[in-house]
Amino acid sequence: MGELIYMFASFASRHRNGVTCTEGMRLLADTLHPHGVKITWIVSPESAAIASEMLTKWHESFGDDVAVHTPVLKGSLEDKKAAMSAAREAVGNALPWAALTVAASGHTDPEIAAVLEATGFEGLWGFCWEQIEVDQITDRGCPWGFYYMDRSQRLRPAQGRGVIGMEWTARDLLKSFHSGNPCLYSTDPNDVGRGGLCSWENIDYWRRMADNYMRNTRYNDHVFLLQHQEAHEMERSDLCKCYTEEDIREAAVMLDQFARHIKGSANMMTLPEAAKLYRSRYDRTASSYMLWEDSPTPRPNCDYAWSTPVGPWPKTFLHYDCGAQMMFIEGKVEPVCIRNYAQPWASGEYFAEPDIPYARLVHNTQFNWSREIEIVAKAPRPMPYGLALWGDYALYQIDEAPDLIEGKIISRELMFLRYNLTEGQNRLCIRLQGK
């Protein structure tokens, strides 16, 4: 059984005339700290200085930490490095105890990985899985959770280590993929509130989403669930007036209920702690295996969820590694989507392979206590590929499988087989041995 890592980040960098969002910060702290949640506050040099006393107190009493809000980066690569270093130094001057290993926001800059590597950061918060255009962010194609960013293309995993790309806020992987609207099906309280999926103590949808993350610790050493809420959106002041006092109280109740649900099943960490864990355990991006069941939800508010199909959707298996990301629906052997990280990212394509080879079964022969399967797939060109053989393979282990990159039997559900296909006919042979 693996471990669920729960992190909570809060954007707390806004400031004006010597004032930052301390009222919203206090509300989040009072809501989450009683449940053992450690908050990572995303601060600018100015907000860090203004809130230094309370941030220090929360660090000492509850283990809170900070991430450095990325300033506006412009000019040459050297100019960007200088600006990032200056921001980090200024936050460090205000909060000498802070590790300052994680940066936040600014992740859409194509040079951001090189900037952060050069300035000593280990992680970057802000990636939005499957998102297109919202908040001027199009991240479709990147992995969910954590991954080491490729230095030349921020949305694909590096072949080794790098700066860790960290999600903005965790999404419902199944509904986000099938509906095309990951911003609705997220752990952001305002999004599910405006969408009509959760309200006040009624957070059954969030609980079911969390349960999907918890169940997938069966198949992964670590599952990372990162939740976020802006501190300025938890107060009504000159810094932010987009939500009413009632909206703010409702968001606090929802966050309280969610933390109450998850705290017994998760290891609470700050972003710097989680980055340290990831780097200590993984020399390259860890493969992720996520089997996701659909959760019933109320029909979303159409004024907020414009052009969003609602399902229900089939059980879905999702996987990524350093070479590809794939999605499978229950009963279908070949993936319905392959994102090939060997090809360039382009708007409208998002690494996706346009031609997914059909998997043809040659034979599936069961012997006394073993099994042999042969499948043929014809590829138009070399590409990453996978098979999800749905069914109960719990009595077997993979014995021989030439050219198999990795395989995993998800007990009672499916057997996943990962290959790299060559151009033309590929014969995929698997021998299973009984336990």
CA dihedral (324, 402, 407, 313) in degrees, to 10, reads 60
What is the bridge-based pairing of β-strands 39-43 and 3-11? parallel
**In one letter, which amino acid is 370?**
S
Element (H, E) at 406: strand 406-410
Please list the residues that pair with 52 across neighbouring strands: none
Output phi, psi for 148, to 5 deg: -80, 125
pTM of the shown model = 0.97
State the first-to-last Cα distance of the chain, in angstroms, to the nearest integer: 20
**Structural domains of the chain, with CATH:** 3-286 (3.20.20.510), 323-434 (2.60.40)
Write out the chain's pLDDT in tens, 435 residues: 899 999 999 999 999 999 999 999 999 999 999 999 999 999 999 999 999 999 999 999 999 999 999 999 999 999 999 999 999 999 999 999 999 999 999 999 999 999 999 999 999 999 999 999 999 999 999 999 999 999 999 999 999 999 999 999 999 999 999 999 999 999 999 999 999 999 999 999 999 999 999 999 999 999 999 999 999 999 999 888 889 999 999 999 999 999 999 999 999 999 999 999 999 999 999 999 999 999 999 899 999 998 999 999 999 999 999 999 999 999 999 999 999 999 999 999 999 999 999 999 999 999 989 999 999 999 999 999 999 999 999 999 999 999 999 999 999 999 999 999 999 999 999 999 999
What is the bridge-based pairing of β-strands 39-43 and 65-69? parallel
